[in-house]
Amino acid sequence: MIAVPERDREAMREALAEARAALATADVPVGAVVLDARGRIIGRGRNERERLADPTAHAEIVALREAAAASGEWQLSGCTLVVTLEPCVMCAGAILSARIPRVVFGAWDEKAGAAGSVLDVLRDRSLPIRVGEVVGGVLADESAALLAAFFRDRR
């Protein structure tokens, strides 16, 4: 088992706080943060599809937009994206477009994941851009429990 740096766990706790905040708007509890090269949070996001009536308002995309605005650059080449759920295909495309070199995620998404479970868009060798490092399973139990409770309560 690979040791997870404390910085990644701390960032995941921040992403989990964002995920919990999504519950207030009946959005699926997924949260994300973007860290700059020095480890400072420059972008935060949570799912806001319900609140904004926007199908692209996934946590990763919201966080990437905020990070790009904060840095004044669309290329986030020195940054790390930390998200509570394995990115989907749409978010994987946005991550690649932003030139994010490192992605850390919590729970695996066995239905729609695009970072190694169903697909691996982030490291697909047929694409001209790839993420250098993908770390999955950081605080996965907590991330998965939050999602499971949300969907159990909706049934």
Q: Is 58 annotated as a binding residue?
A: yes
- Under DSSP, is residue 3 helix (H, G, I), strand (E, B) or coil? coil
On whether the CB atoms of residues 106 and 17 are closer than 8 A, the answer is: no
Spacing of C-alpha 9 from chain mean position: 14
Q: Is 88 annotated as a binding residue?
A: yes
* C-alpha pair distances (Å), 58 with each of 31, 83, 105, 132: 9, 10, 14, 22
The active-site residue, picked from 18, 48, 60, 66, is: 60
48: annotated active-site residue: no
* C-alpha pair distances (Å), 121 with each of 4, 32, 71: 23, 19, 25
Residues within the annotated binding site for Zn(2+)? 58, 88, 91
Question: Which positions are catalytic?
Answer: 60
